[in-house]
Amino acid sequence: MKEAIIAPASPDHIDAIVSLLPRLADFTVPGHRDPADLWQGDAAMLRAWANGHRDDLTVVAASGSSGELLGVAAASEREELLTHAASAHLEVLAVASAAEGQGLGRQLLASIEQAMRDKGARGMSLHVFGNNTRARALYSQAGFDEEIIRCFKPFY
């Protein structure tokens, strides 16, 4: 893998961060979904963070030796759904296509988990599409259990 440096992200790099977000829809998106809908809300959330309006959000970024952005992870502080304990929710995990398959997603996930532990989170939740097998495998290998199934029926 390219040597990557993972560190807290800088709001100054928001445009580069947002440019990675279409990777969140880089799988077979269900036909009734617009792929852009999978990341445009995250773009707005991260822009709010960059403008100082999301103190609950922690963002880490992976940069290559030339300073190029290779990946990003973001998590918010929130109560755990059932126990109401201090928790975190993984909002974004995106890796540049040039760095895919080299373990960077795993490293970013470990980094954001540690950052949220350091803030007092006792666990982390996330959402993932059922047919996003690559992401589901990563999360399973990282120790995430699939607990709740969300069903959706579009009304056309």
- Report the DSSP pairing between strands 124-126 and 86-95: parallel
Q: Is residue 152 in some structural domain?
A: no
pLDDT digits (tens, 9 = 90+) for 99-110: 999 999 999 999
* Residues 6 or more apart whose Cβ sits within 8 Å of residue 66: none
C-alpha to C-alpha distances, 154 to 25, 32, 129, 135, 151, nearest whole angstrom: 19, 7, 15, 24, 10
pLDDT digits (tens, 9 = 90+) for 15-67: 999 999 999 999 999 999 999 999 999 999 999 999 999 999 999 999 999 99
Domain count for the chain, please give it. Answer: 1
Q: What is the CATH number of the domain that holds 39?
A: 3.40.630.30
pLDDT at 3 (0 to 100): 80
Query: In which residue are the tokens 């997603």 written?
Result: 105
pTM of the model: 0.94
Q: Is residue 134 in some structural domain?
A: yes
Q: Is residue 147 in some structural domain?
A: no
Task: Determine which helix (DSSP H) or strand (DSSP E) holds 41, and give its type and residue range.
Answer: helix 40-50
pLDDT at 2 (0 to 100): 56
CB neighbour burial string for 127-146, b if at least 16 within 10 angstroms, e if fewer: ebbeebeebeebbeeeebee
Query: In which residue are the tokens 């097998």 written?
Result: 133
* Residues 6 or more apart whose Cβ sits within 8 Å of residue 101: none
Give Dmax over CA atoms of the chain in angstroms.
49
| Domain extent at residue 33 | 5-141
Instruction: Determine what percent of the chain is predicted with pLDDT higher than 70.
Output: 99
